[in-house]
Amino acid sequence: MRKIAIIGGTGIYSPEALSGFEEKIVETPYGSALCNIGYIAGNQVIFITRHGIGHKTAPHKVNYRANIWALKSLGTEEIFATTAVGSLNPEMQAGHFVVCDNVLDFTKSRINTFYDTPERGVVHVDFSYPYCPMVREKVIKCLEKTNITFHKTGTYVCTEGPRFESAAEIKMFAMLGGDVVGMTNMPECILAREAEMCYSTCSIVTNMAAGISPTPLSHAEVVEAMGKSIANMNKLIEAFINYNEPTEATCNCHEALKEFGGFKL
């Protein structure tokens, strides 16, 4: 049995495949997390909507630590997260999916570790390749069986938000090798690594970024573009949950803190 979590970003609030799940509030040292728990194809599946019901939580206010801690406490081993992004790369157009393979973190005020108190101590976890290669391979193989236009690699630039980026910032991010830009993948990604869970994201391009887009950016534009891609993402989520083929890729996500005695709840 696989133990899977789906973290839904903008527009992904109640995937069809996850209907009928049991709602559970999980208490953690960092606050509560609302989880929806069920079983599909013999696998445990937990769904969290990152921005909350009705999209009421801004990116910089998401309780990332509570969400990841809750998933760990429920036995989660694999996390598949969705994100809505702007594109810095002309080859990555609106409606395209991007299975990111690295990240540039430009957040400023978010707590990005579970290890920030004397009681928990200090750890330094390897983050050379932020996304689990095994989960990435499963997502890519699922996408290869669809007609969705997607990219197997891409660097995700995470900004603080909640404002959109300036044209100068976008120009800088592109010069640094960024492909897509969003506001939510950090610290979610690094917390999952500290908690020794496999994590990967699939981004949906909703628009070209500031200075590239011919029009001013708006949240309405993002939501409208996501609306056109929700059906495709629902198909991908269902395929990922039902995936049962062997993978060639290997990872050490479950031993990320072995040097420090492993992650402790």
What's the CA gap between 43 and 17, in Å, rounded?
13
Greatest CA separation found in the chain? 52
Contacting residues for 192 by C-beta, under 8 A, at least 6 apart: 68, 79, 198, 199
**Does the pLDDT value for residue 131 go beyond 70?**
yes
Burial class (CB in 10 A: 0-12, 13-18, 19+), 203: buried
Break the chain into its structural domains and give their ranges.
3-260
**Does the pLDDT value for residue 41 go beyond 80?**
yes
The answer to whether 142 and 80 are in contact (CB under 8 A) is: no
**Does the pLDDT value for residue 144 go beyond 90?**
yes
Comparing C-alpha atoms, which of 5, 45, 1, 15 is closest to residue 197? 5
What's the CA gap between 242 and 91, in Å, rounded?
30
Query: Region 158-176: what's the mean pLDDT?
Result: 94
Q: Looking at residue 210, what is its pLDDT?
A: 66
The answer to whether 193 and 127 are in contact (CB under 8 A) is: yes
Q: Looking at residue 159, what is its pLDDT?
A: 97
Question: Full-prediction pTM beyond 0.85?
Answer: yes
Residue-wise pLDDT tens digits, 205-232: 988 876 676 666 566 766 676 677 888 9
**Does the pLDDT value for residue 185 go beyond 80?**
yes
Question: Which of 4-8, 125-129, 207-211, 236-240 comes out lowest in average pLDDT?
Answer: 207-211
Q: Is 78 helix (H, G, I), strand (E, B) or coil?
A: strand
Q: Is 164 helix (H, G, I), strand (E, B) or coil?
A: coil
Q: Looking at residue 32, what is its pLDDT?
A: 95
| Domain formed by 3-260, architecture | 3-Layer(aba) Sandwich (3.40)
Query: Region 40-59: what's the mean pLDDT?
Result: 87
Q: Looking at residue 226, what is its pLDDT?
A: 66
